[in-house]
Amino acid sequence: MAGETDIDALLQPGRGIVLRSEQHQDRAEILELTAQAFSISPVTGQAVEGTPVEVGLLRELFECGEYIPELSIVAEIDGGIVGHVISTRGWVGDEPFLGLGPIGVAPAVQRRGIGSALLQETAERAAAAGEPGIALLGSPGYYPRFGYVPAVSLGVRPPEAGWGDHFQVLALPGWHDGVRGTFRFAAPFGRL
Residues that bind ligand COA (CB under 6 A): 37-38, 42, 103-105, 110-116, 138-139, 141-142
CB closer to ligand COA out of 101 and 133? 101
How far, in Å, CA of 32 to CA of 55, rounded?
A: 8
CB closer to ligand COA out of 42 and 93? 42
Query: DSSP states of 119-181 as a string?
Result: HHHHHHHHHHTT--EEEEE--TTTGGGGT-EEGGGGTEE-SSGGGGGGEEEEE-TT--TT--E
Nearest residue to ligand COA on Cβ basis: 115
Least distance in Å: CB of 64 to ligand COA?
A: 20
Question: Is the Cβ–Cβ distance between 178 and 171 less than 8 Å?
Answer: no
Least distance in Å: CB of 92 to ligand COA?
A: 20
Interaxial angle between packed helices 53-63 and 27-37, expressed in degrees from 0 to 180 and rounded to the nearest 10: 150
Least distance in Å: CB of 20 to ligand COA?
A: 17
Least distance in Å: CB of 112 to ligand COA?
A: 5
Least distance in Å: CB of 51 to ligand COA?
A: 14
CB closer to ligand COA out of 103 and 126? 103
How far, in Å, CA of 34 to CA of 12, rounded?
A: 24
CB closer to ligand COA out of 58 and 126? 58
Query: Distance between the two ends of the chain, CA-based, in angstroms?
Result: 32
CB closer to ligand COA out of 108 and 180? 108
How far, in Å, CA of 182 to CA of 149, rounded?
A: 16
